[in-house]
Structure formats: C-alpha cells, structure tokens
Structure 1
Amino acid sequence: MTDVLVVGAGLAGLHTATGLARRGHHVLLVDRRSRLDGAVRTTGIFVARTLADFPLPEAHLGPPISRVVLHPPSGRRAVTLDSPRTEYRVGDMAGLYLAAARDAVEAGVRIALSTRFLGRDGDGWRLAGPDGDRTVRARFLVGADGARSRVAAELGLDRNRHLLVGAEVVFAVTRHDRPPAFHCVLDPVLAPGYLAWVVDDGEHVHVGTAGYPDRYPQGLAAALRRTTTTAPGLHHAVPVDAERRGGPIPVGGLLRRISSPEGLLVGDASGAVSPLTAGGLDPCLRQAAQAVDVLDTALRTGAAPAGYDGAALRKAFRGRLGLRHGLAAVRSPWLVEAGFPLLATPPGRALAGAVLFGDRSFPDAVSDARAAEVPARPPAAPGRRRG
C-alpha cells in the first residue's frame, strides 16, 4: 500500500511526487522509460515567469534569450522583437529530469523505471516491470503520463482530443557572436495551424515544426526535412547524429474533468498547455504545486480531492482558444504573407509582444508556486495506512 502512485516521470510527475514526499507521504513514481534522460519530447523552453518563480538548476539552463524574430512563409520582411529582459531560456531537459529525480529520491520517492501502467486490477493498479507484473494499492493515482493519458481513461476523466504533432532536431554548436534568438516561421503549409522554429542560444540549436497531423501535404517528416534545410535563422548544417524529438501537443485547453475520488491528472494529461503558444512547462510546474496541496489535504483529512476543477479554470483559456481557432482557420501562405506587414506596425508589435513576452500563466488560480518546496513534516493524521 502506498499513499500516491504517480504515473509518468516528466517534470509534472517528478515535481508532484517530490512535493508530496516532502510533506511526509509515501509516493511511488513509475515510468515506462528505462532512463529518464532518454526519449525527451519537449523543446524545453522556459519563460520569464517560470524562471522567476521556480528554482531550476542554473547548470541545466542555456543562455538568456531576449529576441524573437517572426518570419513569413517567404522568409522576407521578418519582424524582430527585442525585450529589455530575459524572456526565455532553453533547458537541458535530460539534465533537468535527472536533477529532479535526485531531488525526488532524496525526498523519499520510490522510482520504478521500465515499468508500464496497465490499469485497474481489483482494488489496485496493475504494473508491468522488469520482474513481471504486480498490483499496487494506492490511496490516490496521479496521471502525469502525457497527452494520450492511460490514467485518464482508467479514472473515467476527460482525455485530450485536440492535438498537434511536432518534431525537431537538437545539436550543440560552437559559441558564436550572434545574439541568442528564437526564430518563428509562420507558414500554414510547412506548419499547419502552428509554426516552425529555430532556437539558437549560442550553445545549442533546436530546429522543428509542428501542426495538425492531417494537414501536412507530405507528412511531418518531410516538413521537418524542409525546415532543417531552408528555415531562416539557421546558420549551421544539421549533423546526421543530431538528437531527434517529437510527440503530440494538446491544444484544446484544460480539460473539464481532471479529478475524481481516486486521483487526478497533471501536465499534458490534463491539457494544461496554452492553446495558442503550446507552452506547457510553466503550467505543469504550477499545476504540480496545486496538485500537491490538493492531495496533501485529501490524505490528511481522508476526503476526496477538492478544489481541483478543470471546468472552473477553463475560462482562463477562452481568449487563447479563440486565437487557436483563428490560427487553425488560416490555410493559405499568401494570406499570411499579405497580412504580415501588419505585424511591423506599432499595434502589430504590441499584440505580438503581448503574446510572446506576456506574463500570463495557466492555471492562474493556483497556490504559491513554491508550495511543493516546503520541508517534510510528520503526518497530522495518526493511524493512516502506510506501505
């Protein structure tokens, strides 16, 4: 018997597990990967508000980025936006996962890798690991298992239906004198409904594209090949041994039903990703802090999780969902090209700056982002079952 079974060891799962363990609860964290520094799916872009609110290890963050360059399909007449502050830093996600895993173990979390979550088994949850199948009983189950969450299905919660797919290559470069920059290519053929990107911070380069899977004329792989050879802002040849990443991106907004008496969802599993920018790292960390508070209270009181209602928070997505629908409706590169000069006007720059440099986050109605960092304290409810 364990207090909480967390499925998925991404940042959301690791931070939820660590926060609960630091509050004195027994936590088992499982992940089907054999190593946490492999099969990375995210570009790992952290925004200014995340950098200010969360103590991320400095050693695993790239150089500051304050410049965004917007490119139309033709690549001509780009619009450059410079911010007076650091807006982005790209994380070394493999290093961040390993550092977060060390924190989790130090807090008392038991981590089981190469372990798949199979679903319900009587009054427990079936896991398949290196030593065979076993059943684990847990007071609560946490789904941190990505956009296509198996946990969501087992708990009878909502699942993501609106998904983009993305792919990128990542490689190290020799330090250069060009200012770190985030290049965005708005092309509804190359990246239908989203964008292609080149992020060059002077240490690493990320080149990728994402969009609606059914709207790539020749497939996502072909779009990625075109991006890696023609994308503006790319000053380096892509090495054949470059790391490759990819996966689904939920952009339908926070799901309505993200908790039940048996558990809850965090991160991509809950849809806590901006529908417009597809940014999910800041929401996942803030939502993990909220999940820690909710589950800590439930474990101490013996009640079901309360105050963790996606329907109540979906209003924070209304504006971005509207912009998502508008972006999805644009299918002609000529339309983008014709409208692009508007971005160079003061109103256009102001709108682009609000989207790219704004401090809005999601979910907004969360507890202190540092709630998961409190020291462990003895349980307040005597006689609670431990295992």
Structure 2
Amino acid sequence: MGSPLGVLFANFYMGVVEEKVFSRIRRPDIYVRYLDDTFIMAPSTQDFETFRRTFEECSCLRFTVEHSKDGRLPFLDVLISPNTTGFDTSVYIKPTNLGLCLNGDSECPTRYKASTIKFYVHRALSHCSSWTATHQELDRVAQVLVNNGYSNRQVSREIKLAMDTWYMGEQPSVITTNTINLYYKGFMHRDYQKDEKAMRDIIKSHVSPVDKNTEVKLTIYYQTNKTRSLIMRNNSAPPTQDILKQTNVVYSYLCPVPGWTSHYIGMTTMRLSKRLSSHVQQGAIKAHALRVHNKNIKREEIMKNTEIIGRAPDSRRLRILEALLIQRETPPRKCSSSPPVEGTTQGKITQPTMTPPTRTTQQIKI
C-alpha cells in the first residue's frame, strides 16, 4: 500500500487468479473488474456463491459481497440501475461524503481551482448515461463548489466551457516532432503569477532549440508549506527533539581540542545523523583532524560537538543560508592559543570551510 507499483502488482496478481478461476468455471455474462473490485451478473445466488468460493480457493484473498438493492448497485463511483433494454448509469455519492474539495479561497494557482471544477463536470458527462441525470449531477456539483468558496460566476463559466468542448469534440492539437520538457518546483505564495511570468520570459529569451520543430515546454508545479511552518511559535527556544533526526538544516561543528576554536559550517537535506557519519570517511573535518591533530575523528565526537544554526524549507534556500552563515564567520584567521601538535605545524586553518567562530544568537532567515 502506498507504493507507486502497488496498482501494477495487484493487477498482475488478479490476472493470474482469473486465469485459474475461469479454467475451472464458466465466465459470467457480465464480468467487469478494476483491481480487486469486481462487478458481475450471476443467474442465481447459488451460482454467485460458487463463483466467489472459487476465487477464494485460487487466491489468498477473502472477498466481501454487496448485492443489488431494488436492482441498483454502486461500482466504484458509478451507480448502475437496470432498465428495459440494459442499464442506466449515474454518479454515485457515498452517504459518508461531506462534500469537501479544494477550497475556492485557498492560496494556490488559479488553474488548480479551474481543474477542480472541470473534474466534477467531466465526471458528470462521462458517468451519466442520460441528460436528465447529467443535469441533476451538475446542479449538485454547482452547489458543492459554491459551498466550498467558489463564485457562481466562476462555476457557471467553467461548466459552459466544458459543455461547449463536449458538444464540439476535442480539437486537434498541433503536433511537434520533439518536445523538451522543463520542470520547475516552487513554493506557493501570493505573487506566484509574477514568478511564473519571469520564469517563462527567461526560458523564452535564453532557450532556443536547435531544431525548429522542437518545442520547449515549461511545467511549473507547487509544493505547499506544511502547516507547522506557518504558525508563529511563542516559545523561541530551540526544539527539544533529537537534532540528529532533522533535515534541511545548516549545522556547525566546533573542534573539541582544548585551545582550538576552529569550526566547520555545512548544510544537508538528508538526516543530520547520516550527513555527520559521512564526515568520518572524508571531508574537511576529517582532514583537519589528521593534518592538525594527527588523529582520526570518531562519529560520536562529531555528533557531540555539532549544533544546528539555521533551517530552510528547500535546497535552494538552504545553500543561500549556508553561504550567508559562512560569510558572517569570515575572514579566517589564525586560531588563538593553538597548542603545537607533534608532526604538524602550529597553526593556521587552510581549509576554506574551516573558519573561526563568532557565536551569536542571531538567526538568518531565508
């Protein structure tokens, strides 16, 4: 569950089960399956139980059963009702459905809100077998959308556009030989349209495919900030949770050797504990310990002398924050009262990432 391949694996498994079942019993006149949800029409209750029992014998699954009521049976989000010549279909709404959807007043791109309306309209047109059922569903959809903050004008406009497209059919699109897809992930804010325009202008001005038949397509999508990042905390003290489990942080390592005040500033998008473990194998911290102190650094020693000095929600801002914090600690100078170490020169930190600390309580926000 939750894996992108879950649907594929489930479909493969059910396909194997079907081959075993239909080699033993006759396939029903109506048999429709979506993953493990199956819609069938059996001549009698006994035939139906034989069908269900065979499926369970040929698999490790246990099937629940739902019989039709007054000849009507929901299958997924479609309500199927018999008529004199076949079946009528309409949109099925569960009794537990609260009528909630993406709010019309939410802070997100306008096209996301338009897509929400188009989804409801398209579902009504594709699921309903009669215009009477379609109009009833569109009336219900319009009320749901208005209840969720959409204006009557916006809902009516999108319904009209969808209906016009449905009547006229799909318009043929211009097909290009090749398409170069560029993807950009941003964080949602009120002036997102200005950022989108700037990005498209940059692509248009500076990107030109060699092949004239090739089209550059920029797709911009958004990741919303978590709710906890939008809440102002009254307690300004650092969080009490284990800092080694945190991600997207800028950290500072202070050399623990008495008399040395050199330190290392770095950033990581992975768990801090994993990043610090890599310092044991390579990097400026290990090189400083070997060159200056003639010793191998231990993981416990690095973790004990590391603290988080900044946070940012994404890698781009994290790199900027790291650069600002490093710049605040420069220029590097000789370590004060540095004791001599046998086999090394007394010294000066030559690694550009090892700089003396100027500890303050000031936090830099990006």
TM-score interval for Structure 1 and Structure 2 normalised by the shorter chain: under 0.3
Higher relative contact order (CA 8 A, sep 6+): 1
Normalising by structure 2, we get a TM-score of: 0.20
Higher strand share: 1
Larger radius of gyration: 2
Higher helix share: 2
